């Protein structure tokens, strides 16, 4: 049986393959059932958990009571209050699956079968977490009655809060219905350019719904329920920029999104938020630093873009599917957190870009990233953090797997002009000798990171392509 350390390496490689393939617009092949890196989020659900029992009549009555309050707080009127459907988890999963297929087919280059695989993966990882969901395809409000009780129990919270928390869930989902009627969520997501822009829009959508449900909760005399939902979702109202490592996604999207929305509400009222739906934030960095909203994201000079592409092209095979994207604050902060590094380094990121390739079938992939920080010390710290974490993980894995994993992590002299360079080379003997290598090179404020899965060129080739990219930014 594989230990946790071994499983972490295997799952990490499979996840990386899915990220590379999905971001390149290709079919992940055998890794297609793993969590995808680029499905458009379904931005209309509040994630709690459980199953339960409340009458449809009582829920419909609550919807009728709360809908006018949601409209008043949000500053817009419903064209129609959505119908209520009492659902179980399988029904929620089916709705989520259909939405994910729709978004993946329309917002990415994935084919139908690849979109279905990615959608199944999304459902497998999140489908059982929903208490309520607004279906943006059929415009119905789905409620899993009684599910709040399990969420409260998991957090050790007072079970008598169940009814009040359910009201907040309904207010949250009604806000999504109002957003859809006023801003057309489906079209908004499809027309965002790139995964990070979709993430930023998701933060706006969820952050707005959180802010409205909090105001509804306070207006109806449920401050304890407001605090309970904040705890369940993993963000702290007293420290809106704090991120709970165990709930990174929800704390970022719901918590940071709420803070972003509140920043604009304070300055311009409810109409300022509706303007955001017309002109959404273009990057997740604007969510964590709301004052930068409206600024043009950092762009990559065409010469550097060509150098990244040429570097990638030296690592990919014939007929591999290629793609490129912006690496956003959300992704970098998650990477730092997983590496047990200071997430403050994400605050010092000026811009980051990735170019990738993957075959249409088989377990392989190549990625070249360029990260630009605000100063050389931040770039050096990033490489040092990645190097230290890789060394710790590899040592643990090798000591626990009886030869199933082998490899090396250390400083690297392949780029003598670097401020700091390191590499990791991993072999998975239990998976037919599959290999993963990562190279990190810092020079000045820049980091070039090369990740190769079963695409092992010579160290000289890796060094040459890293130098090629660095020369263009000097």
Residue 259's CB: how many other CB atoms inside 10 A? 20
Dihedral (Cα; 150, 155, 159, 164), 10-degree rounding: -90
Distance CA 152, CA 35 (A): 27
pLDDT per residue of the chain (474 residues) written in tens, 0 to 9: 333 444 444 434 333 444 444 445 444 333 333 333 444 444 444 544 333 344 778 888 999 999 999 999 999 999 999 998 888 888 888 888 888 888 777 776 677 887 888 888 777 766 556 788 898 889 999 988 777 888 888 889 999 999 999 999 999 999 999 999 999 887 877 777 788 888 999 899 999 999 999 999 999 999 999 999 998 888 876 554 556 677 788 889 999 999 999 999 999 999 999 999 999 999 999 999 999 998 888 888 899 999 999 999 999 988 888 988 899 999 999 999 888 888 899 999 999 999 999 887 778 899 999 999 999 999 999 999 999 999 999 998 888 878 788 899 999 999 999 999 999 999 887 767 788 999 999 999 999 999 999 887 789 999 999 999 999 997
Q: What is the radius of gyration, based on Cα positions, of the chain?
A: 23
DSSP secondary structure letters along 47-108? E--------HHHHHHHHHHHHHHHHHHHT---SSPPEEEE--HHHHHHHHHHHHHHHHHHHS
State the residue for tokens 């392949």: 414
CA distance readout (Å), 219 to 72, 205, 258, 395: 11, 21, 18, 54
- What confidence score (pLDDT) does residue 187 get? 80
Give the SS3 label for residue 237. coil
- Residue 444 CB neighbours (<10 A): 16
Which of these, 111, 109, 107, lies nearest to 41 by C-alpha position? Answer: 107
């Amino acid at each position: 049986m594989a230990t946790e350390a071994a499983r972490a390496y295997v799952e990490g490689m499979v996840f990386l393959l899915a990220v590379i393939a999905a971001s390149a617009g290709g079919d992940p092949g055998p890794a297609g059932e793993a969590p995808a890196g680029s499905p458009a989020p379904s931005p209309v659900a509040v994630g709690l958990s459980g199953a339960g029992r409340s009458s449809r009549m009582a829920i419909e009555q609550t919807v009728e009571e709360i809908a006018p309050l949601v409209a008043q707080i949000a500053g817009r009127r419903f064209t129609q209050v959505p119908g209520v459907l009492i659902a179980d988890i399988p029904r929620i999963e089916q709705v989520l699956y259909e939405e994910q297929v729709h978004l993946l087919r329309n917002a990415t280059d994935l084919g139908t079968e690849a979109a279905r695989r990615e959608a199944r993966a999304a459902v497998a990882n999140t489908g059982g977490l929903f208490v309520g969901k607004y279906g943006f395809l059929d415009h119905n409000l789905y409620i899993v009655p009684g599910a709040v009780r399990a969420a409260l129990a998991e957090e050790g919270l007072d079970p008598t809060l169940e009814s009040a928390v359910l009201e907040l869930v309904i207010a949250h989902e009604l806000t999504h219905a109002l957003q859809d009627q006023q801003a057309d969520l489906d079209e908004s997501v499809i027309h965002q350019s790139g995964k990070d822009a979709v993430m930023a829009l998701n933060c706006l959508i969820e952050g707005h719904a959180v802010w409205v449900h909090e105001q509804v909760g306070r207006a109806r005399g449920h401050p304890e329920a407001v605090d309970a939902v904040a705890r369940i979702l993993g963000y702290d109202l007293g420290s809106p920029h704090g991120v709970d490592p165990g709930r990174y996604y929800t704390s970022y999207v719901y918590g940071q999104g709420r803070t972003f929305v509140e920043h604009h509400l304070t300055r311009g009222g409810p109409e300022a938020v509706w303007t955001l739906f017309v002109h959404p934030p273009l990057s997740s960095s604007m969510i964590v630093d709301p004052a930068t909203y409206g600024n043009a994201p950092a762009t990559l000079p065409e010469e550097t873009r060509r150098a990244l592409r040429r570097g990638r092209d030296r690592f990919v095979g014939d007929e591999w599917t290629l793609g490129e994207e912006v690496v956003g604050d959300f992704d970098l902060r998650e990477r730092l957190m997983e590496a047990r590094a200071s997430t403050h380094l994400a605050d010092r990121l000026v811009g980051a870009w990735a170019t990738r390739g993957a075959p249409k079938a088989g377990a392989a992939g190549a990625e070249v990233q360029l990260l630009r920080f605000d100063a050389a010390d931040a770039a050096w710290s990033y490489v040092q953090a990645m190097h230290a974490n890789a060394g710790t993980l590899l040592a643990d894995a090798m000591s626990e797997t009886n030869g199933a994993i082998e490899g090396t992590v250390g400083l690297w002299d392949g780029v003598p002009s670097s401020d700091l360079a390191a590499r990791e080379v991993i072999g998975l003997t239990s998976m037919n000798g599959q290999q993963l290598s990562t190279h990190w090179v810092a020079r000045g404020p820049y980091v070039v990171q090369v990740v190769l899965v079963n695409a092992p060129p010579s160290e000289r080739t890796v060094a040459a392509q890293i130098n090629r990219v660095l020369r263009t930014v000097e």
